[in-house]
């Protein structure tokens, strides 16, 4: 698993926990980082960037997801899918270091192992539409 994929997975863990428990993302991130043993993993800065990026752009990210998720509300999406989509949309719109196909592929591949059978196709569709909007 690449360092960035590990970072995405850990960011997903933080966002998932915050979403599921209704806790502030920043508080969950702070607790996660505090509980890591030394030496801290090399992917930690990107994990922090992803969580903080999703947090700082949450309103816009959720607006886009709600408008491009044909027939789905954010609340109806599985928690894993919702947060994978948030990470990917952050990368699509706000991280110039990540190419759009990479952001989409990473979300889809994580969904293949962590979510429902329909999730990869769902995420690919919604993220593809958002990527088209962003370009």
| Domains in the chain with CATH codes | 3-134 (1.10.940.10)
Mean pLDDT of 17-31: 97
Model confidence at 88: pLDDT above 90: yes
Model confidence at 135: pLDDT above 80: no
Tens digits of residue pLDDT in 112-127: 999 999 999 999 999 9
3-state SS, residue 93: helix
Distance CA 118, CA 135 (A): 26
* pLDDT number for residue 133: 87
Mean pLDDT of 21-41: 97
Distance CA 106, CA 87 (A): 10
> Residue 130: which residues within 8 A CB-CB, separation 6 or more?
64, 65, 68, 89, 92, 93
Cβ-in-10-Å burial (0-12, 13-18, 19+) of 61 comes to: buried
Average pLDDT, the chain: 96
**pTM, full prediction:** 0.96
* pLDDT number for residue 134: 82
Distance CA 13, CA 110 (A): 12
């Amino acid at each position: 698993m690449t360092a960035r994929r590990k970072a995405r997975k850990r960011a997903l863990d933080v966002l998932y926990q915050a979403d599921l428990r209704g806790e502030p993302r920043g508080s969950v991130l702070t607790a996660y980082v505090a509980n890591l043993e030394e030496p801290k993993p090399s992917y930690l800065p990107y994990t922090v960037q992803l969580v903080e990026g999703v947090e700082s752009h949450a309103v816009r990210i959720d607006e886009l997801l709600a408008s491009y998720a044909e027939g789905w509300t954010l609340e109806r999406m599985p928690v894993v899918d919702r947060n994978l989509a948030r990470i990917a949309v952050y990368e699509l719109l706000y991280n110039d270091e990540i190419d759009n196909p990479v952001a989409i592929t990473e979300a889809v591949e994580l969904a293949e192992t962590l979510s429902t059978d329909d999730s990869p196709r769902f995420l690919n569709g919604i993220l593809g539409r958002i990527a088209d909007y962003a370009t």
